[in-house]
């Protein structure tokens, strides 16, 4: 028998849209009459961000950063996390929402949180699309997540495998099945 890798739907487009609409309502209410700046690390998060900002009923700006850290054997050392900052304006006294695609070990998002906090914003909140909730992590902030997931590898809805699968509307995980010949 030959082992075949297939995609298994984990979260549908409708579930994603519903969760984003709900979170956007909550954020719009929490920041009513105020501006919000979203800070996000490219690239898996870009579809999530675009869907979120279209649902928000408040003034919102977006600042993207690129993680330049070395990823060796999927281990990112905190002291090596660096960002190519696209932030053009000060974040001082502003409401900040850090948005992440997947919260795993939390090393890079903690580094981003610490970087943003140095600018003394009014408030920092963190929102993740997926939370690998069983993963051991050491983070110093509270966060909201749209979906708690197992420690699998996910693609679709902006998430990729070697730059493929980003355009899928649902979120999938890889699964191996035996195929009889």
Matching residue, tokens 């919000």: 36
pLDDT for 84 equals 54
Pairing of strands 2-11, 123-132: unpaired
- Residue 143: which pLDDT band, with cuts at 50, 70 and 90? very high
> What ranges do the domains of the chain cover?
2-179
CATH code for residues 2-179: 3.40.50.2020
86-108 pLDDT, tens digit per residue, is: 566 788 999 999 999 999 888 88
pLDDT for 64 equals 85
pLDDT for 72 equals 46
Residue 70 DSSP label: -
Structure-block tokens of residue 118: 């140095």
What is the average pLDDT across 13-36?
Answer: 98
pLDDT for 1 equals 53
**CA distances (Å), origin 71, targets 76, 81, 92, 148:** 5, 9, 30, 24
Instruction: Write down the pTM of the prediction.
Output: 0.86
With beta carbons less than 8 A apart as the criterion, state whether 83 and 66 touch: yes
Sheet of strand 83-85: strand arrangement: 83-85, 59-67, 35-42, 95-103, 123-132, 144-149
């Amino acid at each position: 028998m030959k082992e075949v890798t297939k995609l298994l739907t984990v979260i549908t487009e409708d579930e994603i849209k519903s969760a984003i609409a709900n979170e956007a309502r909550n954020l719009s209410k929490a920041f009513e009459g105020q501006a919000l700046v979203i800070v996000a690390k490219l690239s898996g998060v870009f579809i999530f961000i675009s869907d979120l900002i279209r649902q928000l009923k408040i003034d919102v700006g977006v600042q993207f950063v690129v993680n330049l850290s070395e990823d060796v054997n999927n281990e990112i050392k905190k002291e090596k996390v660096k960002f190519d900052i696209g932030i053009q304006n000060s974040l001082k006294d502003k409401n900040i929402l850090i948005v992440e695609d997947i919260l795993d070990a939390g090393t890079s998002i903690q580094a981003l949180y610490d970087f943003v906090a140095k600018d003394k914003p009014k408030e920092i909140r963190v929102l993740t699309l997926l939370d690998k909730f069983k993963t051991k992590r050491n983070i110093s902030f509270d966060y909201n997540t749209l979906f708690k997931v197992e420690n699998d590898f996910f693609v679709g809805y902006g998430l990729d495998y070697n730059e493929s699968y980003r355009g899928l509307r649902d979120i999938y995980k890889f699964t191996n099945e035996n195929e009889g010949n």
